[in-house]
């Protein structure tokens, strides 16, 4: 007999945890739609030649290929035709290029689906996980005003999720590149330096400083000091962010362009009503110079910095250059929801939810089955989610079942209740019960449910 077990690197939840996860998905979806984003879904499989056109790196070495059993022996055919998507960005690029003539630009899309990566099996790292993405794609050009709307959406998402204080940290590629140019760092060296600075939080300042001075870099002490000082710039509050930008001093054209765009983003976030405690400058954020070209974002939970980035993204010049001659600039951000949910649950910040079932209609004896079925249908018609006990059991067993399943309300109608035309409602959360005329049962349960939702 084969031992039942889930593969390493997947998150499989029991129903009440799954409900909590689903409610997070629903909250994110509702918020995305509130800002005018449209849903898109792409196949879990993409053609390998399409999927592997990204710029390379660690992610592409973690691709899962898809192969039919009939093709297993054909080793001479090269890579399999199909592969599982490892993010939602490459499928978006293919989607926009393929449907370019049918889409209205700027194209505002959200996508919430699973992606797959061959991660090394370890706690908190997943091979199958949900990403929740939003992007705005322009045709030929895209106003930098969209760069501020993206973090405003994310602020709204995390406010509604109510998972604690958070900070959306901002930086800008043009500011970085312009600063590097002023220090005489150019070409491929910019990318190498940027990747090292992005490791400051993980490796520490001493280790990064040693690397920048060592083989392959050979930067002078004065240049390293300036890089480290620049990377340590953080802001606290709106006015402080503007002051920190001003204090950077003057620079070349690219540097000044990046600073002007960051200032505009900050002012637009203020106009959008985003609390100034929710955003800050962090000039150490990198996120890959080869992909992002403008503003970049990373979001962290203030009380749980060890969780790391829970949402990241930025501006890119040309989304679909591999698939079309059209220039399709965009800006977007992604929430890695599976990892976030896992970390929040481990930290005790997310609890198992009550069942999606509002009411259990109990069955005390077989003679009451027809009435229980009819009553259940009346309650469903009023908008309640109802489970009917279809086999008579001892009341204690039925209450135990409802409690374990997370169902709050149990409706009972024994001989005594039937004779008096009433029903007994047990509230398992409060450990209380009350009687109500059967004609008023639906209204009473609806009121109780709304009060329950209002109190959370």
pLDDT at position 54 is 56
- Give the integer Cα–Cα distance in Å for 346 and 127: 18
Average pLDDT over residues 267-277: 96
Give the CA-trace dihedral at 157, 160, 166, 171, to 10 degrees.
20
Q: For residue 300, report the phi and psi dihedrals to the nearest 5 degrees.
A: -130, 155
- Give the integer Cα–Cα distance in Å for 116 and 86: 5
pLDDT tens-digit profile of 85-143? 999 999 999 999 999 999 999 999 999 999 999 877 777 789 999 999 999 999 999 99
Find out whether the peptide bond into 106 is cis, omega within 30 degrees of 0.
Answer: yes
CATH fold of 165-302, please?
BirA Bifunctional Protein; domain 2 (3.30.930)
21 pLDDT above the threshold of 80: yes
pTM here?
0.89
What are the residue ranges spanned by the domains of the chain? 1-160+330-343, 165-302, 359-446
337 pLDDT above the threshold of 70: yes
Q: Given this chain, do its domains 165-302 and 359-446 carry the same CATH topology?
A: no
Average pLDDT over residues 230-251: 94
For the 1-160+330-343 domain, the top CATH level (class) is alpha beta
pLDDT at position 15 is 93
CATH fold of 359-446, please?
Rossmann fold (3.40.50)
Closest listed residue to residue 41, CA positions, set 112, 134, 108, 129: 112
pLDDT band at 290 (very low <50, low <70, confident <90, very high): low
pLDDT tens-digit profile of 373-408? 999 999 999 999 999 999 999 999 999 999 999 999
pLDDT band at 199 (very low <50, low <70, confident <90, very high): confident
DSSP run (H or E) holding 360: strand 359-361
55 pLDDT above the threshold of 50: no
59 pLDDT above the threshold of 70: no
- Give the integer Cα–Cα distance in Å for 434 and 417: 12
Closest listed residue to residue 108, CA positions, set 156, 158, 39: 39
């Amino acid at each position: 007999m084969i031992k039942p077990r889930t593969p390493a690197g997947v998150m499989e939840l029991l129903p009440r945890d799954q409900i909590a996860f689903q409610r997070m998905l629903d909250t994110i979806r509702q918020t995305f739609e509130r800002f005018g984003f449209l849903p898109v879904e792409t196949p879990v499989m993409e053609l390998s030649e399409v999927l592997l056109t990204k710029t390379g790196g660690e992610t592409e070495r973690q691709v899962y290929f898809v192969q039919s059993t009939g093709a297993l022996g054909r080793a001479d055919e090269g890579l399999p035709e199909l592969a599982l998507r490892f993010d939602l960005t490459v499928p978006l690029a293919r989607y926009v290029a393929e449907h370019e003539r049918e889409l209205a630009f700027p194209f505002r899309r959200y996508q919430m689906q699973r992606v797959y990566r061959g991660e090394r099996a370890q706690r908190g790292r997943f091979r199958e996980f949900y990403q929740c993405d939003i992007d705005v794609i322009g045709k030929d050009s895209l106003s930098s005003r969209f760069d501020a709307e993206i973090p405003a959406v994310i602020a709204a998402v995390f406010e509604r999720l109510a998972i604690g204080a958070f900070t959306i940290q901002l930086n800008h590629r043009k500011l970085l590149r312009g600063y590097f140019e002023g220090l005489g760092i150019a070409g491929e060296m910019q990318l190498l330096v940027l990747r090292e600075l992005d490791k400051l939080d993980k490796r520490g300042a001493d280790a990064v400083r040693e690397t920048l001075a060592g083989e392959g870099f050979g930067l002078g002490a004065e240049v390293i000091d300036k890089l480290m000082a620049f990377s340590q710039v953080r802001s606290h509050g709106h006015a402080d962010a503007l002051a920190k930008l001003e204090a950077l001093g003057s620079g070349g054209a690219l540097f000044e362009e990046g600073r002007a765009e960051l200032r505009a983003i900050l002012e637009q976030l203020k106009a959008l009503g985003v609390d100034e405690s929710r955003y800050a400058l962090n000039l150490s954020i990198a996120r890959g110079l080869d992909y992002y070209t403008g503003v970049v974002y990373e979001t962290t939970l203030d009380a749980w910095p060890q969780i790391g980035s829970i949402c990241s993204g930025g501006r890119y010049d040309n989304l679909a250059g591999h698939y079309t001659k059209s220039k399709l600039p965009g800006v977007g951000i992604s929430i890695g929801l599976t990892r976030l949910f896992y970390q929040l649950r481990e930290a005790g910040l997310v609890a198992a939810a009550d069942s999606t079932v509002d009411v259990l209609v109990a069955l005390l004896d077989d003679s009451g089955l027809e009435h229980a079925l009819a009553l259940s249908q009346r309650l469903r018609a009023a908008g309640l989610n109802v489970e009917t006990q279809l086999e008579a059991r001892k009341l204690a067993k039925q209450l135990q079942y409802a409690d374990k399943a997370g169902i709050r309300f149990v409706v009972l109608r024994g001989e005594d209740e039937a004779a008096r035309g009433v029903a007994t409602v047990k509230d398992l959360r409060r450990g209380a019960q009350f009687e109500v005329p059967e004609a008023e049962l639906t209204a009473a349960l609806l009121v109780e449910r709304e009060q329950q939702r209002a109190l959370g």
